Structure 1
Amino acid sequence: MDVWETVAITAAGVAAGGMNAVVGSGTLITFPTLLAFGVPPVLANVSNNVGLVPGVLSGAYGYRRELRGQRARLLRFGAASLLGGLGGALLLLTLPAAAFRAIVPVLILTACALVLLQPRLNRWVARRRGETARTDGGLPLWLGVLGTGVYGGYFGAAQGVLLMGMFGAVLHDDLQRLNAAKNVLASLVNGVAAVVFIAVADVDWTIAALIAAGSTAGGLLGARLGRKLPPAALRGVIVTVGVTASAFLVARS
């Protein structure tokens, strides 16, 4: 790995850590970067997941003030995230690499669509918040968090968008507090998947270390400064990178 690859992967980690702290979808930056340098898709996904764990943890730490009073919520949904992340990681290792190459472009484009639709989703959430005051979302929300965990353990791009959409539509709470809870749950999903990958899969530790260093810094910066970034510009970058990655994967398959 030459110096430019090292710089590019580390910078992608910084951007991904910041995005994950604020909105999610950081994988749409790091994963395509690794593909561009010729890293095989499954190895890229595994190494990326391991590397992003410190970043999502740092983002959760940056929102620690908003986590106060949410212990019961985090314990309840944390169990769903852990189970889902474990299931998604096992799916990634069980299904053939060809299946991953076929599925991931669809997942990336779906994630891009969710990012594009986020302003409308936020408006819908705002309307719903005036109609409901449910405190825990019941079994349907728990199952939704479980399903998001499976998706996150398998690939993970935009799992934060999915969680925020579900939380905002059902839970009657401040959105910044919900975003803090989202960061913790994403940390659990990525963390349990990383444990599985480290135990039984091949990890490129150089790549993982570079992404870890970048995403840790990015997570802290994102928690402090992310709210000041122009949302439209951020969405534009995510979607551009995601569509490019999908086209690249389709061309290679």
Structure 2
Amino acid sequence: MSLLDILVLVLAGIAAGAVGYATGLASIISYPALLMAGLSPMTANVTNTVALVAVGVGSFAKSGRVLLAEDGGKPLARASLIALAGGAVGAGALMLAPSSVFEVVVPYLVALAAIALLLQPRLRARVGERAEHPAWWLVGVFAVSIYGGYFGAGAGVMFVALAMVLTGLPLWRATLLKSALLGIANAVAAIGFLVFADVHLVAALAMGAGCLLGGWLGPPIVERLPATPLRITIGVAGLGLAVWLAVGS
């Protein structure tokens, strides 16, 4: 891998970190960048998961105290344990099970999450504007974390959609929570991939360095953006990612 490839991966990591924090679509930048650097699809997938751990680290280091302050951090702790378990299951599925089923289903899951985000005001109105659904929220966290550990493109959109519909959090809080939980799911999967899979360490370190900076820059940007246009942008971008995944599968 040349120095130019490494520089491109660092820059792609910065973009993926910032865009990924804001929209949950980091992989739409990071995964193609790894492919263009010459990695095979499987190696790019596991390397991408390892690198994207840094997005969660960067964003949590910047604004994680907000989540920890809520009820002493208990809601985050519960969801984090669920995300850890789901990420482990997803990583195991990637290494042990055939990928054909997931390749078919993934575009539909991403599209469903994007549509749910676009329709979030109506969905919240139906379930109750102030309603909390902790059991369904944790079930959703587990399911999305499995997908996050397996592949992950669009998992951030899924997390944001779940949080907006089932928890009643404002968008910027849902985005921060998404980043933390997805980072945990990615982290446990990354450990498995580093031990058992073909991770390109140089590419992972280069992109991870960029992702760390991008994740650090993300929270203050998102907190200042208007919620409705950002929600619509994430939803439309999620639909675009679903089409991209469907065409590429």
Q: TM-score, normalised by structure 2?
A: 0.83
Aligned-pair CA distance for 1:239? 5.9
Alignment of 1:1-253 (within 5 A): 1-67=1-67, 68-70=69-71, 71-96=73-98, 99=99, 103-104=102-103, 106-108=105-107, 110-111=109-110, 114-115=113-114, 117=115, 120-128=118-126, 130-134=128-132, 137-226=133-222, 227-228=224-225, 231=230, 243-244=243-244, 247=247, 249-250=248-249
Once residues 2 and 246 of structure 1 are traced to their aligned partners in structure 2, the CA distance between those partners, rounded to angstroms, is: 32
Aligned-pair CA distance for 1:44? 0.6
Counterpart amino acid of 1:120? L
Aligned-pair CA distance for 1:105? 6.6
- Contact in 2 for aligned 1:151/1:159 (Cα 8 Å): yes
| Cα distance, 1:133–1:241 mapped onto 2, change above 3 Å | closer
Once residues 175 and 136 of structure 2 are traced to their aligned partners in structure 1, the CA distance between those partners, rounded to angstroms, is: 20
Deviation readout 1:141-175 (Å, 9 max, x if unpaired) = 22111111101000112222212222221223333
Once residues 32 and 243 of structure 1 are traced to their aligned partners in structure 2, the CA distance between those partners, rounded to angstroms, is: 15
| Cα distance, 1:86–1:209 mapped onto 2, change above 3 Å | same
Unaligned segments of structure 2, at least 5 residues: none
- Contact in 2 for aligned 1:63/1:223 (Cα 8 Å): yes
Counterpart amino acid of 2:209? A
Aligned-pair CA distance for 1:34? 1.7
Once residues 105 and 35 of structure 1 are traced to their aligned partners in structure 2, the CA distance between those partners, rounded to angstroms, is: 20
Once residues 158 and 241 of structure 1 are traced to their aligned partners in structure 2, the CA distance between those partners, rounded to angstroms, is: 7
Counterpart amino acid of 2:12? A
Deviation readout 1:209-253 (Å, 9 max, x if unpaired) = 111111011111112224549746777767667655654x44xxx
- Contact in 2 for aligned 1:62/1:223 (Cα 8 Å): yes
Once residues 27 and 92 of structure 1 are traced to their aligned partners in structure 2, the CA distance between those partners, rounded to angstroms, is: 17
Once residues 132 and 58 of structure 1 are traced to their aligned partners in structure 2, the CA distance between those partners, rounded to angstroms, is: 31
Aligned-pair CA distance for 1:51? 1.0
| SS in structure 2 at match of 1:63 | helix
Once residues 241 and 83 of structure 1 are traced to their aligned partners in structure 2, the CA distance between those partners, rounded to angstroms, is: 26
- Contact in 1 for aligned 2:136/2:166 (Cα 8 Å): no
Q: TM-score, normalised by structure 1?
A: 0.82
Once residues 111 and 130 of structure 2 are traced to their aligned partners in structure 1, the CA distance between those partners, rounded to angstroms, is: 28
Aligned-pair CA distance for 1:33? 1.9
Identity rate, percent: 29
Once residues 241 and 124 of structure 2 are traced to their aligned partners in structure 1, the CA distance between those partners, rounded to angstroms, is: 29
| SS in structure 2 at match of 1:202 | coil
Once residues 64 and 193 of structure 1 are traced to their aligned partners in structure 2, the CA distance between those partners, rounded to angstroms, is: 21
Aligned length, in residue pairs = 243
